Structure 1
Amino acid sequence: MRANRQGIISATGHVAGISLMTGLFILALLATASLSSPLWAAETPQAEADVLVAQGVLAYDDRDYENALALFKKALTSNAKHPRALYYSGLAYLALKQPADAVTALEAAKQAQPSDPAIASQLGVAYFTAGRYDDATLLLEQAYQADPSSENLGYFVGLSRYRQKNYKQAIEAFNTTKTTDPNVQQLSRFYRGLSLGVLGLPEQASAELRQLEGTGANLPFTGQALQIQQALAAGRKPDETKRLSLQVSVGGFYSDNVAINPRNPGTTPDANTNDLLRSLNSRKTTSPGVLGSLVADYSFYRDGPFEATVNYAFLQTANLADSLNAFNIQSHLPGISGFYRGTVADLPFQIAAQYTYNYILLNDAGFMSAHSPTLTASIVPPSFTLPLVGSVGNLTSVITRWQKKEFYREPVALDTRFSSEQRDAFNTMFGFVHAFRFAQDKQILRIGYQYDDERATGGAFSYKGHRGQAGLQSALPVADMIFRYDYDIHFRDYTNTQSLFKDFSGQLSKRVDTQQTHSAQLVYPFNDHWSVTAQYQRVFNKSNVPLYDYVQNVYTGLVTWTY
């Protein structure tokens, strides 16, 4: 015999009363037992266990959980595999906030009746309450697919999906929650509001959380809900507390090829090329240095899903070797950005438009400038689960950028023979990047691809390129350190034959480059504001034209303050 409600437990540990049919069954069973002789009861342990379970269920329904549990235990001494005694023992343990004991009882009940959906769903609740989330997810989802209207089941399924960052599916589960428990009703509304906020729907999230104000429910999250509702009403995410962010870094570096000397010392078939290579390689190119940087971002407009920011980035490097002062870099990068966040087909997305102007100086003299409007569209696809890995989140972005570059102090200004070497150009780029997010973003794996087309004033610098990107970021188990590695490979096929500089065979040909960049970084955060960073970068540009074939290694140490 099976209780009609099958008692899905609420967040407060209570299960509503037994069904009418179950109550009639228990009364009939007790009446039968009262007419039976003691000798007959002693000779049928199953009947005695049934009577004890029936008495225990009545005590359980009166919320006398300790007395109910004592009766169930007594029934189990008569029949250790009594499925109803095990099942209700699990419910009693849950009501008494003893989830580990509930798991033991419900696992035994499931072993006795493997196909019982009520036992399976309650075991899922017990797993979840005990913190065994991966074990709970499968059972809860199976029960939800079979009957989403089961008492309180939608809440637990929604909470499980929320924990896995499946916010869209979590909202669906919270919407289907059937419960008579007011606490579960408020908890469902609270987490539904949080999910809406994460999905970029602050107005709906605020409305959902605002309903908690008039409930009078004395729940520990009520004050937090009001704070989040106020934050959403101000047009920001729940964890946003300021509009201005700053990052200031100072440190030192060592580069083994500041001047970008070519690798070949002058061993090509062409004598003029060899003379040029020897002259370049005679330059001093190794140097330690110091650097400083500033990154600032201010959100000046927020209104629901809209946000607009202004930003500025500054970088200054100074080579300590006097002969390399000409390669001291100063970069100014102001910009403005606009964002719109929402959902499409129930998937959260963000559209961002940005314009930046970059002005770079070498040794305090203008070197180049670039105007760069960029459009980015990002979407959060559904997560999925992998064996031994668990839930895997996703983030996909597509990017397009148009860029106008202008170089100053070009050689053509002094000698018209260098007209083919003019680097002023228009560059168009299209690409995408996808991030796989593991363990609540403690590990992130990135892959990406870009195509770019550069059309330069001088024919020697026009190319079509393909760029592959991969990266890994991991939170280490030691001192909250963060490790990041990025790999970038850029294939550039230049469209015109070189007019001045010959290839390794001594011929004027089309230039073909493959540039690989490795970057490894280890960050140690002292606290929320201070961190130290160690970084290594290797750039290897392999070219069929020896002038552009080089390797550079840079080692950097930084101290960073963040606001």
Structure 2
Amino acid sequence: MRIIVRQLRRITIAVCISWMLCLVPSWAQLPHETYDFSMSKGIAEFGRGHYDVAASMFERARNAKPDDLEAADYLGQTYLRLKRYGDAESLFRWIVKKNWKAAPAWLGLGIARSQQGQYQEALEALGQAEQLDPKNPLVYFYQGLVAQELKSFAQAPELFSRAMALSPDLTPSARYYTGISYYQRGLIERAQKEFEAAIASGEPESELARSARAVLQQQTAVPKGPKQWDLNLSVSGQYDSNVVLLPAGTQPPGGAVGISQKDDFRTAIYARAEYRPIQTDVWTAGVTYGLYQSFHQKLAKFDVQDHSPSVFVQRQMGPVQARVQYVFDYVQVGQAPYLIAHVIQPIFTIAEGNSSSDCYENHCASTPSYHDCRLYQLDAVPCSVLGSATPRNLRFQHVEGNRGIRPGPLRRGRQHV
């Protein structure tokens, strides 16, 4: 009997111990056990596409090991898929601060920034990722997407091509976005080929394939390429109570009495044409021709005719636009030659936003005039344009001729009066 009681007592103690172990809370686990379990569970849920559960697991892993970079990276990737781009950016910034050689974190940082519209900052992060891991196809793929957002449609196809070369799995998406770039540039036939290739290389009923087919069906809405020419013509009637023609540093026609002290009506015609045979997102080159003609009703000797053909080359470098142009200026007054000018103009324009820009011009002109003098003009023109405000031009002019040296007047642009 005693033996039976002793065995029952042992069984009871074993059952109680087992029951107590079952009641031990999860927080009583050791930190490394919590970390390992949470990471394994999080990776499994991430692979199944259960990103909410995966994020919860990775957050538990980070709580167990706050300085662990792997848990932070997995959590950042999960935040990207949950579209929590601000949280993802903060995590990836923390990772690259701890380890600046973490190429995946730089890539994740670039993606998070691009999704928040921080395109220049995204390019900087993606550039770091490219330096650290130049064979990662996703780096070039996302660089191409950011280039499209920045309207650099000529640059994007090359980036998508590099992504495809490194990872054929990206071919459908890369082909599709390459087609978008060609479409935006007006290269319709090339865009169609890329869309067809995107459909053929991927799943026929995928969302991307359906989108490509929809674009192909919108042929009537296809945008045309950028126009290569401009033509402007204006005609105006003017009345002047005292007709005067005083070019800078010269006497008026007829000598000191060139001020007519007479009123007159005149018709002013201005025409301008520009042709740009080279026109890309980066380079533009072309020729222009301008014509100004005024006709006075009575005082024909004050009629002005100005021919100004020019050639120019222009380059766009992000917010900076650099332009160099040569202008030949031939002016007649009263049907007699009055002024011949050769002008070289380097112009720099900096875009500061949607409604403001700063431009800086240096003009160098060599001008034999009607009075056989030499005009050397050096203009430093800071222009500040805010909204519809008028640019403020400040010009400094040095005139040398038969009548000595005199400073030219401050003026606002070219005036024919």
With normalisation by structure 2, the TM-score equals 0.71
Q: CA deviation at 1:139?
A: 1.4
Quote the residue 1:453 is aligned against.
367
Equivalent residue for 2:210, pick from 210, 218, 227: 218
Pick the structure with more helix per residue.
2
Q: Following superposition of structure 1 onto structure 2, how do residues 27-426 of structure 1 map, counting pairs within 5 Å? A: 44-164=30-150, 169-178=155-164, 180-181=169-170, 184-186=173-175, 188-190=177-179, 192-193=181-182, 197=185, 203=187, 206-208=189-191, 210-212=193-195, 215=199, 217-219=209-211, 223=215, 230-232=222-224, 236-237=225-226, 259=244, 324-325=263-264, 328-334=265-271, 336-342=273-279, 348-363=282-297, 365-366=299-300, 367-370=302-305, 372=307, 374-380=309-315, 382-383=317-318, 392-403=319-330, 405-408=331-334, 424-425=337-338
Distance in 2, Cα, partners of 1:57 & 1:169: 36
Deviations 1:51-79 (A, max 9, x none): 32122112212222122112212222322
Quote the residue 2:16 is aligned against.
none
Q: CA deviation at 1:99?
A: 0.9
Distance in 1, Cα, partners of 2:81 & 2:132: 25
Quote the residue 2:14 is aligned against.
none
Alignment of 1:437 with 2:350, yes or no, is yes
Tell me if the contact between 2:242 and 2:263 (Cα under 8 Å) persists in the aligned partners.
no
State the superposition RMSD in angstroms.
4.4
Give secondary structure in 2 for the equivalent of 1:485: coil
- Alpha carbons of 1:117 and 1:486: their partners in 2 closer, same or farther (altered >3 Å)? same
Equivalent residue for 2:397, pick from 485, 490, 497: 490
Partner AA of 1:358 in structure 2: Y
Partner AA of 1:465 in structure 2: Y
Equivalent residue for 2:379, pick from 468, 474, 489: 468
Distance in 2, Cα, partners of 1:39 & 1:335: 84
Pick the structure with more strand per residue.
1
- Alpha carbons of 1:44 and 1:374: their partners in 2 closer, same or farther (altered >3 Å)? same
Unaligned runs of 5+ in 1: 1-37, 263-275, 285-322, 384-391, 410-422, 498-508, 520-536, 540-551, 555-563
Q: Which structure is richer in relative contact order (CA contacts within 8 A, separation 6 or more)?
A: 1
Distance in 2, Cα, partners of 1:185 & 1:446: 40
Deviations 1:387-413 (A, max 9, x none): xxxxx322312213152x33328xxxx
Distance in 1, Cα, partners of 2:213 & 2:235: 38
Deviations 1:477-517 (A, max 9, x none): xxxx45532333333222xx3xxxxxxxxxxx435442321
Give secondary structure in 2 for the equivalent of 1:372: strand
Unaligned runs of 5+ in 2: 1-23, 248-254
With normalisation by structure 1, the TM-score equals 0.55
Deviations 1:294-351 (A, max 9, x none): xxxxxxxxxxxxxxxxxxxxxxxxxxxxx644xx4422234554331157xxx84333
Partner AA of 2:277 in structure 1: Y
Larger Rg: 2
Tell me if the contact between 2:183 and 2:222 (Cα under 8 Å) persists in the aligned partners.
no
Distance in 1, Cα, partners of 2:382 & 2:298: 34
Give secondary structure in 1 for the equivalent of 2:137: coil
- Alpha carbons of 1:245 and 1:219: their partners in 2 closer, same or farther (altered >3 Å)? farther
Give secondary structure in 1 for the equivalent of 2:409: strand
Distance in 1, Cα, partners of 2:60 & 2:237: 72
Partner AA of 1:446 in structure 2: Y
Distance in 2, Cα, partners of 1:258 & 1:471: 32
Partner AA of 1:377 in structure 2: F
- Alpha carbons of 1:438 and 1:407: their partners in 2 closer, same or farther (altered >3 Å)? closer
Q: CA deviation at 1:449?
A: 1.1
Q: CA deviation at 1:147?
A: 2.7
